[in-house]
Amino acid sequence: MSETSLLPLIVASAFIGCLIPALLARFGRGMGALGAAGVMAGCLALLAPLIPAVLAGEALVTAYAWLPGYGLDLAFRLDGLGLLFCLLILGIGLLVVLYAYYYLPGGHVRLPHPNPLPHPQGVSPPGLAAKPLNPARQAGEGANESLREISNHGDRLGRFYTLLLLFMAAMLGVVLSENLLLLVVFWEVTSISSFLLIAYKREQRESRIAARMALAVTGGGGLALLAGVLLLGHIAGSYELSVVLAEGERIREHSLYAPMLILILLGAFTKSAQFPFHFWLPNAMAAPTPVSAYLHSATMVKAGVFLLARLHPALAGSGLWFWLVSGVGAVTLVYAAYTAFHRYDLKGLLAYSTISHLGLITLLFGLDTPLSVVAGVFHIINHAIFKASLFMAAGIVDHECGTRDMRRVNGLFKFMPITATLAIVAAASMAGVPLLNGFLSKEMFFTETVGHPVFEEMRWLLPLFATLAGMLAVAYSSRFIHDVFFNGDPIDLPRQPHEPPRWMRAPVEVLVVLCLLVGIFPQWSVAPLLGAAAGAALQAPLPAFELAVWHGFNLPFVMSLVALAGGITLYALRKPLFALHDRLPSVHAHIAFERFYEGLTSLAHSIVNWLDNSSLQRYLALFIVFVLSLGGWAWLSGPPAVAAAAYQPADAAAFAALATLIVGALGATLLHRQRLTAIVFASVVGLVVALAFVRFSAPDLALTQLAVEVVTIVLLLLALHYLPQTTPAEDSGPRLARDAALAVGAGAGLGAASFAMMTSPFETISGFYLAQSLPGGGGANAVNVILVDFRGFDTLGEITVLAMVGLAAHALLDRLALTAPGRDSDGRPWARERHPLFLSMLMRPLLPLALAVSVFILLRGHNLPGGGFVAGLVTGVALVLQYLASGIDFAQPRLPRHKAKLLALGLLLAGGTGAASWLFGRPFLTSAHGHAALPLIGEIELASAMVFDLGVYVVVVTVVLMVLAQLGRLSRHGFPEKCGEAA
């Protein structure tokens, strides 16, 4: 196995490994944690053999085709940047697994009740119950999370670890992707899995709202990222990073560069909680603290800055990049630092400080000098280390005190001196105190602000800004240290604080030791990894830089000193500053977002309720409106109609037919409430249409129309027997006017369209059919040959549909009991003589005649007007007449009982004829033809297609019989008895 094939294996084993904690958790919570740790350790072990090559500056790439047509391949890449993130994800992940084991309740707290079902509230979808937020409550200053979650944890530790691993797997996918589309796929998985993690305490409304907000913001950003990546792939000609990163020059000069850059940055900024998308992150503190420590310090929020680093060679180097990225980063840096200083909630402070540090990293990538990129990558490492330890320390405080409100949590140093020392060191690193890792990257940041090439004119601006940000960082770090661990005594804590369990503190200890190691021995500890990662982010030779604690007494060092002194002064002045802050108008971006979200959903609900009011009339009217607007739009925007064809002159007969048709259609419409009358009018229309077919050289159509007309009218009459004879006058005037307008619009539209069509130049595609009808299909009737031969497959589908209608007749009407009214609409009883002798005597001899005619039509169909459809309808009509004349009791026993079998026979005949051509090695439905001499009839042309037509015939006859016989059978339930009663 080659080394690079380990890459997909790492990602795959992480995804598959997700299931392990869920399966193991049933054997005890320790097993769940062990399983999760095992998966992470396994991934680390798979990664280990690749590390030396990557540290030497290699980029390992491997690819498997997935959807090559879309440019989406399972392509993975491990370079310095990816390795750095893998180590962060897996290393901090391991610590979080250990920490969560102690943090989350379940092992040492037993539930009083045995009910393992989740809380009913927890099951309800988060979006439905939401109402506008209460700002005071939303601030959530120090709400105790660990007390509340004890009440219904159930068997949730397994779920927690599974989600954590799923998230980890997705993050590994993001940082190991070589293919940009694949990266977006994993990116979306991180959004979804973090949604599930934030909503871990799903019975709490704040958790659900926070999770939804995080998903909406980061998921929306993910969509923008997808669009941006598609554009980027379009510009670069490939989605492979190796290609894209080398195409920077061409990408920046492309006309689509600006929209592409903005879309991709939207993705990065939402994920990394940059202003103005920062508000989801403080809310996401509703998640359990291990999640915050993992997602909101080391991993997920770093995905955004990872993307900046990853695509830096391809996208950076333009003015747009500089102003957008450094501008957003700078605003975020200062705004969030200021807000962090004013928070009372321990986790809230950390959340805003995280946003601020992410802003710093963004700013560093935006400054866009080689050294600032190195500093950005370095700060990613340092921030992950100290912020994870700070979150864990805050979690310990919360866990031990029962609250994390800094107005109550004071003077903890004497209760938990070890934890306090650890937290103080980590916070000092956050403040940028020398000998700690945070100091090093902050010094690099200060160095880069001094003399940045873009600010030649105002060279004092950037350093001043940086110093201000540094002061604020010192101020909130001081607050974290002094408020929590000193500052008097605790006030009214729910629990008596003490040191946490030994191993709960261990992860913090590891991270703090790392802070010191990196801070004191940078060259020895972090330099190789940083060099490889920064080299990968730059895709260029590394600039010369020296990782040392002491660079001499220079301007950046002075800035650090000023920041330290200024920050401590700020903290000392906190009381008047807080009072001032309270008088400022407060802006709650998350509340504004929530209002917007609520408004949007209620708007969507009202639109859906208006459209979908479960009225078929409404649907149909909307549909017609939609079709009319589409048609109108096409009409107005299309090219003008070209009238090229010569018109056919109209004669008196045509006008007479038109007049008859109009009378029929209008009569049926205006008098539709008198249903019987309307049927009569409608039948006139059908006859005129049949005549029109005769006139315009379509004898087959005329025959079919005539036969269908008869069957349809009989059908309508039979159905009307059971339905009300009249329609009540219930439509309001406006409704009638609306429908009339729609009807006129539709009629005028289709009429105009057909006129334009008929008078436009005409080029037929039917030359082939006409030329091949006789030699190829063996029939002179081109229409019939098309139906049974050229386009026989269509016809096969069509008779299948018809067969379904027949079966539906059985399914819908069998054993249906409908009673027909005993009297007609005028209150007269039906005639007592149901089957007049005259009619039945006349019809019986007619049957063989009609059958002979239909056989004749069937046989001649291939050459002359006729065919299976018409013949089937004629036979059907003849049989139906027997029903009408002599009654169902006469007709039923004389006809085949199992009509469904007949249907099958017809379909088999048609399908079998088609399949038979396989026997001769020809495609489905290839026809053969020849001549045969029949006695009496003479020579006829025989084609295999005629057997197909026979199948059509059988199906049509059977369907007509099934439908009408089912309707007729209803009358046996209803009509005679009622009639007897009425008489």
Partner 1 sequence: MEAVVAIAIGMLTACGVFLLLRARTFPVVLGLTLLSYGVNLFLFASGRLRLDAPPLIQAGAAYTDPLPQALVLTAIVIGFGMTAYLLMLALRALAESGDDHVDGRMKP
Alpha-carbon span 287 to 12, nearest angstrom: 27
Position among 9, 111, 679, 847 found at the interface with partner 1 (CB under 8 A):
679
Strand (E) or helix (H) holding 934: strand 929-934
Alpha-carbon span 603 to 609, nearest angstrom: 10
Q: How far apart are the first and last CA of the chain?
A: 95
Q: Which stretch binds partner 1 (CB under 8 A): 78-86, 580-588, 708-716, 911-919?
A: 708-716
Strand (E) or helix (H) holding 911: helix 899-919
Smaller CB separation from partner 1, 576 or 761: 761
The nearest distance, CB 756 to partner 1, in angstroms, is 9
At residue 698, φ and ψ (nearest 5 deg) are: -130, 70
Instruction: Answer whether 411's CB lies under 8 Å from 502's CB.
Output: no
The nearest distance, CB 777 to partner 1, in angstroms, is 10
Number of residues in contact with partner 1 under rule CB under 8 A = 113
Integer CA distances (angstroms), 886 to 515, 786, 793, 822, in order:
102, 39, 39, 20
Told to check if 733 binds partner 1 by CB under 8 A, we report no
Smaller CB separation from partner 1, 187 or 869: 869
Alpha-carbon span 334 to 355, nearest angstrom: 10
Smaller CB separation from partner 1, 812 or 936: 812
The nearest distance, CB 794 to partner 1, in angstroms, is 7
Told to check if 468 binds partner 1 by CB under 8 A, we report no
Q: At what angle do helices 80-103 and 527-538 cross, to 10 degrees?
A: 120
Told to check if 950 binds partner 1 by CB under 8 A, we report no
Nearest of 509, 504, 498 to residue 412 by alpha carbon: 498
Integer CA distances (angstroms), 483 to 319, 479, 486, 490, 735, in order:
43, 5, 6, 10, 71
Q: Which stretch binds partner 1 (CB under 8 A): 382-390, 585-593, 795-803, 893-901?
A: 795-803
Fill in the per-residue mask, 598 to 637: x = in contact with partner 1 (CB under 8 A), - = not in contact: ----------------xxxx--xx--x-------------
The token pair at 45 is 């072990």
Kindly identify the residues of this chain, within the stretch 863-882, that bind partner 1 according to CB under 8 A.
863-865, 869, 873
Told to check if 464 binds partner 1 by CB under 8 A, we report no
Give the CB-side neighbour count of residue 957, counting CA atoms within 13 A: 26
The token pair at 452 is 């940045």
Smaller CB separation from partner 1, 154 or 631: 631
Told to check if 802 binds partner 1 by CB under 8 A, we report yes
Told to check if 757 binds partner 1 by CB under 8 A, we report yes
Integer CA distances (angstroms), 942 to 54, 622, 946, in order:
78, 51, 7
Instruction: Answer whether 463's CB lies under 8 Å from 333's CB.
Output: no
Alpha-carbon span 550 to 100, nearest angstrom: 38
Q: Which stretch binds partner 1 (CB under 8 A): 21-29, 107-115, 368-376, 640-648?
A: 640-648
Smaller CB separation from partner 1, 654 or 837: 654
Alpha-carbon span 300 to 181, nearest angstrom: 18
Strands 60-67 and 938-943: unpaired
The token pair at 913 is 């004829």
Told to check if 61 binds partner 1 by CB under 8 A, we report no
Position among 256, 608, 658, 928 found at the interface with partner 1 (CB under 8 A):
658
Position among 491, 750, 837, 842 found at the interface with partner 1 (CB under 8 A):
750
Fill in the per-residue mask, 541 to 580: x = in contact with partner 1 (CB under 8 A), - = not in contact: ----------------------------------------
The nearest distance, CB 657 to partner 1, in angstroms, is 8
> CA 457: distance to chain centroid?
50
Instruction: Answer whether 509's CB lies under 8 Å from 411's CB.
Output: no
The nearest distance, CB 906 to partner 1, in angstroms, is 14
Told to check if 678 binds partner 1 by CB under 8 A, we report yes
Nearest of 443, 431, 699, 367 to residue 565 by alpha carbon: 431
Q: Which stretch binds partner 1 (CB under 8 A): 174-182, 397-405, 693-701, 846-854?
A: 693-701
Told to check if 729 binds partner 1 by CB under 8 A, we report no
Told to check if 698 binds partner 1 by CB under 8 A, we report yes
Smaller CB separation from partner 1, 765 or 919: 765
Told to check if 770 binds partner 1 by CB under 8 A, we report yes
Alpha-carbon span 723 to 396, nearest angstrom: 76
At residue 403, φ and ψ (nearest 5 deg) are: -155, 165
The nearest distance, CB 829 to partner 1, in angstroms, is 22
Smaller CB separation from partner 1, 536 or 718: 718
Told to check if 662 binds partner 1 by CB under 8 A, we report yes
DSSP conformation class of 640: P
Q: Which stretch binds partner 1 (CB under 8 A): 10-18, 57-65, 464-472, 742-750?
A: 742-750
Alpha-carbon span 943 to 927, nearest angstrom: 7
Q: Which amino acid is at 819?
A: T
The token pair at 647 is 């018109």
Told to check if 194 binds partner 1 by CB under 8 A, we report no
Q: Which stretch binds partner 1 (CB under 8 A): 5-13, 292-300, 456-464, 797-805?
A: 797-805
Smaller CB separation from partner 1, 274 or 913: 913
Kindly identify the residues of this chain, within the stretch 883-902, that bind partner 1 according to CB under 8 A.
none
Told to check if 696 binds partner 1 by CB under 8 A, we report yes
Told to check if 839 binds partner 1 by CB under 8 A, we report no
Kindly identify the residues of this chain, within the stretch 366-395, that bind partner 1 according to CB under 8 A.
none
